[in-house]
A and B are shown apart, each in its own frame.
Chain A
Amino acid sequence: MPLDSLRSLVAGPLLLNQLPKGPHYGILAEFATPADLYHACQRVRDAGFTRWDAHTPFPVHGLEGAMGLRRSPLPWIVLVMGLTGAALGFLLQWWVHVKAYPLVISGKPFNSWPAFIPITFEVGVLFAALGAVLGMLGLNRLPMHHHPLFRSRVFERVTDDAFFISIESWDPRFDSSATRKLLESLGARSVELLES
């Protein structure tokens, strides 16, 4: 399962270049409450849309399930980075104290591995944390300062108290009038067609 997400991580940037030929980016619908959004997401997922997203000011519990999202592969990235960091940290110390400039310090053997543990651990954690942050930014395709959604005035409230669903026009099931009607029927407060 994590492999699917990794595949989309690689395919994503390629897909982004296949912008729609038409004049529209997609449809943006605003909802009043998390509950409304939750139920609407379930219906949109069940309707078979794939190129769509929901937007909230804070993470809403259970929404990933309502959208049918798979688990994030981030923990695997972090694990690999962490183990790599720890190995590099230990290797550095071992090489310095066994190969490069061996010195007898406080009567300990050259490969004094217990003494190497603190730094090994710290470097492992550092790499793991970097992996988490860079991995998260990579998976989220951030920074992305320009996005068609920012053109909507209503969308400014996405970081305040408004909840949205956006369906992109190059989803195979997209149709400007039918999709609009669907979103309106799901209890949207406002529906807007966005240019690309």
Chain B
Amino acid sequence: MSERDQVALRPEQATIPPGHSWNRVPVISAVCALLGALACAMLGASNPKQFFFSWLVSFLFFLSLSLGALFFVLIQYASQGGWGIVLRRIGETTFAMVPVMAALFLPLLLGLHDLYSWTVPGAAERDALLRWKSPYLNVPFFLIRAAVYFVIWSFIALLYYRGSRGQDVSGDARVSARLRRIAGPSIIVLALTQTFASVDWIMSLTPHWYSTMFGVYFFAGSFVGFIALLSVVAVAMRSAGLLDTVITPEHLHDVGKFLFAFTAFWAYIAFSQFFLMWYANLPEETIFFKARIEGSWKAVSLILMAGHFGAPFLYLMGRAVKRRGSTLALGGAWLLAMHYVDLYWQVMPTLHPEGVRPSALDVAAFVAVGGCFVAAASWLMRRQALVPLRDPRLAESLAFENM
């Protein structure tokens, strides 16, 4: 079966042809990244605090897409799901960006004192709670942990990326079996490291605050973000004439179902976290939400409720919407924007508790970080097959029919 059906997809059908417009994307994005970086440098010189916060939000946005991609692909391997194999390379390319994100993390190290109040020398002496937390919340351990996260994530990401790319050439079925076997433990390690990373990088912005749900909340947002990205990229590929016979409305339908389901899941997690803290009304917990329901931050909270849940939920309910590229991609793009708003809402009130203060640096940082991300990802795409050509179950994915 494998031999016969692998011939059904020739390598030329699954790569970006020479002269295709997408070949120019790496250069264009790299130029944008450079311009963004320049703007950051110029604007950030006079307002470094704003720069670091803007950079943090954009960094978290693109990192969460990579981590969401890693979860998605690991779960596909672990559950032996066959439908998504044609889409797996998109996920693999996304999580292959983790080393790039490691490099993009470095600028934040220059601004630790601006970002995290507990890093300021003498903070622990003045504050009993910070003193208690100092075995965990201290700069050396913070840096070691960050290094550990990136090493582990890069290790898993490259293991799976190289394994899958290698299989394109060798066609060795045992690669799939090996990757499947280690998927389970990899998911556990990823879940733990991602939880602690979210505690370190987002939760400690408000060092007195804590929530057991926070790791799950970050995961939910990142997963929605990746599925949204997947829908946009898959549809864009089809419109650009790449893989338009390979990715079918059946696959788009499933991506749409995932998007629908995880939008609801995100809302469930976000609401649970808010609701339990609202209900118990303990001051040590409500500080987080109090800052986000006062002044103009209230408007952002309402936008998240209606825009990250209400509207997409109703929009993605219909079958036809999920099966058509244009409508699905619109939903995906909207949710990507909402994911950014979610991260902005989590991070920015620390800098601007008085209200929303949009800044040119938000845009500049996004262009700089995003430009690097897109440049690296699209450069990778040019050099690889767009689907795992010799995955033993590719044929099953190609022939996939939805309910």
Contact = CB atoms under 8 A, between A and B. Distances in A.
**Direct A–B touching, Cβ under 8 Å:** yes
Interface of A: 79, 106-107, 114-115, 117
Interface of B: 271, 274-275, 278-279, 281, 317
A106 B271 contact: no
B275 A114 contact: yes
11 contacts: A79-B317, A106-B279, A106-B281, A107-B281, A114-B271, A114-B275, A114-B278, A114-B279, A115-B279, A117-B271, A117-B275
Contacts, number: 12
Contacts of A115: 279
Chain A's interface: helix, strand, loop or mixed, by majority?
helix
A106 B282 CA distance: 12
B19 to A, nearest CB: 41
A79 B317 CA distance: 10
A117 B317 CA distance: 20
Contacts of B271: 114, 117
A93 to B, nearest CB: 15
Nearest to B317: A79
Contacts of B275: 114, 117
A72 to B, nearest CB: 12
B236 to A, nearest CB: 29
A117 B279 CA distance: 13
Contacts of A107: 281
A76 to B, nearest CB: 10
B320 to A, nearest CB: 10
A122 B271 CA distance: 16
Nearest to B275: A114
Given A106-B281, A114-B278, 10 more contacts: A79-B317, A106-B279, A107-B281, A114-B271, A114-B274, A114-B275, A114-B279, A115-B279, A117-B271, A117-B275
B352 to A, nearest CB: 25
A106 B278 CA distance: 11
Contacts of A114: 271, 274-275, 278-279
Contacts of B278: 114
The 8 closest A-B pairs by CB, nearest first: A114-B275, A114-B278, A107-B281, A115-B279, A106-B281, A117-B271, A114-B274, A117-B275
